Chains A and B, each alone.
Chain A
């Protein structure tokens, strides 16, 4: 079982709710993935509250945990206020904390991230920080009170998959007892398997499912891939070597010449 801020979960897939072709496609993907956590955002309401209300009802009907985010926030004050407003709406202390530092890569502003995490943890939030794979930043986030870290493996929405496996491996080793969730950059189920094989605890993704030709089928594919990677990690994998090793025993081999 995965445990995040005291909440026990069977699924190791966290799913975003954006960019689906329809609300029905989102609902189908959530159900076929068996995810127990979906991420949502807050935006300016333009239709007197009714547009957000319809989405809110859909999310509530799914019966999953809601992880609100501060997506699009570029400053500490913006992220902190958005988190407080999200707590007001969703009635949860969970917050996926994003403080974006670069327009093109959507790389986290790790300095602002640590500052915002410190403020929010002190106010009782349970922070899921979207961060880089930098060990020192991870340590600062832990000092700030975070009990989960969510390093990217590639830029948001890029579908590039893990770009720096040694760095992810180092994070796993450094934060041995901390739940680590790869957030952002996953494009294919095999990418999710790879990070799970490294010992990561879960994967958060959105576009790879929402942008697939058949989102529900892709969601199921990711669920299977994540379980396969997890099982492989637990089973213990062989290390690669430079030369062949015969898999069939040589002793008892017939001699024909």
Chain B
């Protein structure tokens, strides 16, 4: 399945957002996720099915002013 993760193209065999995070080695309770411009809560990642061409954003805390 073709997915765009943080602006980069990937071809991965994953069914859910949780599986995607595991496949790309993302871990930690400080991550926020969105699919196609909509927030996906932490608790919903394991049931959120991904579709071909989905755009996923994975954000984490960073310096800011």
Contacts and interface: CB of A to CB of B under 8 A. Distances in A.
Contact of A206 (B26, B32, B58, B65): B65
B58 A45 contact: yes
Interface string B43-62: 00000000000000111111
A88 B32 contact: yes
Interface string B1-32: 00000110000000000000000111110111
Interface residues of A, number: 41
A35 interface: no
Contacts of B65: 16-19, 39, 69, 71, 156-157, 205-207, 210
Contacts of A84: 39
Interface residues on B, range: 20 to 34
A85 interface: yes
Nearest to A207: B65
Nearest to A16: B65
Interface in A178-216: 205-207, 210
A41 interface: yes
B64 to A, nearest CB: 3
A40 interface: yes
Contacts of B32: 42, 85-86, 88-89
A44 interface: yes
Contacts of A18: 63-65
Given A84-B39, A88-B39, A45 B31 contact: yes
Nearest to B63: A18
24 contacts: A17-B63, A17-B64, A17-B65, A18-B65, A19-B65, A41-B61, A41-B62, A41-B63, A41-B64, A42-B59, A43-B60, A44-B58, A44-B59, A48-B26, A49-B27, A49-B28, A49-B60, A52-B60, A53-B28, A56-B60, A69-B64, A69-B65, A77-B37, A206-B65
Given A68-B64, A88-B41, 9 more contacts: A41-B63, A41-B64, A51-B60, A52-B28, A55-B61, A71-B64, A85-B59, A88-B39, A205-B65
